[in-house]
């Protein structure tokens, strides 16, 4: 067995923005004794880049600056692992896969541009239906913005692929007038989908290697409350027990040939039925909960890429009612914006949570940096400056 069979021999690069998604990966690696290199797109304050676990950090303004930095970490004998943390950088790297694959282990689907191809939401819906998952009825919008025939209202507009501010292009429309108005606001191409009243949402975070032949759906997160235009920040985390669902995910990822960390999202309707939403071919914000439960997805990806499979004891039994909470986002949404709970009730939610995504007693600086930023933001807003 060569010297590079040991994970400690390899470098790890985490790429993302000042967000708690890459922060979770940085902490996952750091807690395992691996100090990653972080390439972080600048934000309004230092957050992910403030983690104590980082070996070295590169602050950039544009993701296209990444390639000049990666040139310094090319090693064909002991490849560097790259963990992308948003859809934009995942696609940028995917389109250059042929130039990177001899020097780096990174998310891929076996051919240059193939992840980007399957990141298209309509393509995913066709594939999901083929593999036995429930998919809501969809309609295509004309390239000139014209509406299709036979639209059944209400509908929701959904971006065809991820682009900057794509999450702002979701609109629920009850009639043609509202739909026409919404299409005039969207920043990128969208399609229409039957709007199904949701009870909650469910997300599965996992990792896939060996061209999708080895898939581990590590955690299943079910939201404890629903918001009309946003996802919940509190969830109950459990094992994925639905064997049919596990098989559908595995066969989908196998057909794509995907290798990397993933997140699959589903809506749960009022009857408890699951409806496929999308697969994200990159690390998600919730993956740190998997690390806290002994299933470190960045490490499992690395081990799986080296061995072609996961260790036999990779999947751990999750305790009942294990709660994860993105506490600061929860406060801004559930307390400040929607006034669903009081500040005191929120404190109780924080205290009962088993996993927090922002505060970490061993890595406090990102949390306090964000708190200072939010206080200054409120202060400026109060005084109109």
Q: Poorest-confidence range of 159-163, 210-214, 247-251?
A: 159-163
Q: What would the mean pLDDT of 166-186 be, rounded to a whole number?
A: 90
Residue 230 pLDDT: 75
Asked if 330 contacts 357 with a C-beta cutoff of 8 angstroms, the reply is: no
Quick check: 256 pLDDT over 60?
A: yes
Which residue pairs from 163-167 have beta carbons closer than 8 angstroms and sit at least 24 positions apart in sequence?
A: 163/88, 163/187, 163/188, 164/88
CA angle 96, 286, 300 (to 5 degrees): 60
Round to whole Å and give the CA distance between 52 and 321: 31
Round to whole Å and give the CA distance between 349 and 353: 6
pTM over 0.85: yes
For 1-11, the pLDDT digits (tens) are 456 778 889 99
Of 3, 5, 11, 52, nearest to 298 (Cα)? 11
Up-side HSE of residue 5: CA atoms within 13 Å toward CB? 5
Question: What is the dotted CATH code of the domain comprising 3-119+198-322?
Answer: 3.30.470.20
Q: At what angle do helices 243-256 and 121-130 cross, to 10 degrees?
A: 130
For 134-159, the pLDDT digits (tens) are 999 999 898 888 888 899 999 999 88
Asked if 258 contacts 212 with a C-beta cutoff of 8 angstroms, the reply is: yes
Instruction: Quote helix, strand, coil % in the chain, to nearest 5.
Output: 35, 25, 40
pLDDT classification of 377: cutoffs 50, 70, 90: confident
For 103-128, the pLDDT digits (tens) are 999 999 999 999 999 999 889 999 99
């Amino acid at each position: 067995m060569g010297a590079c069979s040991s994970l400690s021999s390899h470098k790890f690069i985490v790429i993302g923005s000042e967000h708690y998604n890459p922060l979770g990966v940085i902490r996952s690696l750091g807690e395992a004794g691996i100090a990653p290199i972080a390439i972080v797109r600048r934000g309004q304050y230092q957050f992910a880049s403030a983690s104590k676990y980082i070996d070295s950090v590169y602050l950039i303004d544009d993701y296209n600056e990444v390639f000049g930095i990666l040139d310094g970490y090319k090693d064909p004998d002991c490849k560097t692992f790259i963990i992308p943390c948003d859809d934009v950088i995942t696609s940028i790297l995917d389109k250059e896969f042929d130039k990177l694959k001899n020097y780096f282990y990174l998310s891929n689907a076996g051919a240059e541009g193939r992840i980007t191809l399957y990141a298209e939401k309509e393509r995913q819906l066709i594939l999901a239906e083929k593999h036995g998952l429930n998919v809501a009825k969809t309609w295509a919008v004309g390239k000139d913005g014209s509406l299709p025939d036979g639209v059944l209202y209400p509908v929701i507009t959904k971006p065809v692929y991820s682009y900057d501010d794509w999450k702002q292009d979701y609109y629920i429309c009850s009639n043609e007038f509202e739909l026409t108005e919404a299409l005039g606001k969207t920043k990128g191409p969208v399609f229409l989908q039957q709007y199904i009243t949701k009870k909650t949402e469910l997300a599965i975070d996992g990792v896939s290697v060996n061209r999708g032949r080895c898939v581990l759906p590590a955690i299943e997160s079910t939201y404890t409350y629903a918001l009309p235009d946003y996802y919940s920040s509190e969830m109950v985390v459990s094992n994925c027990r639905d064997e049919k669902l596990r098989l559908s995910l595995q066969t989908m990822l196998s057909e794509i040939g995907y290798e990397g960390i993933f997140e699959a999202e589903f809506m749960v309707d009022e009857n408890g039925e699951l409806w496929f939403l999308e697969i994200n071919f990159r690390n998600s914000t919730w993956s740190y909960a998997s690390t806290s439960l002994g299933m470190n997805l960045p490490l499992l990806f690395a081990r799986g890429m080296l061995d072609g499979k996961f260790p036999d004891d990779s999947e751990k039994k999750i305790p009942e009612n294990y709660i994860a909470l993105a506490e600061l986002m929860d406060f801004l949404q559930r307390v400040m914006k929607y006034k669903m709970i009081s500040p005191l009730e929120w404190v109780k939610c924080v205290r009962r949570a088993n996993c927090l995504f922002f505060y970490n007693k061993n890595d406090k600086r990102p949390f306090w940096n964000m708190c200072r930023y939010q206080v200054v933001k409120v202060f400026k807003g109060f005084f109109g400056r």
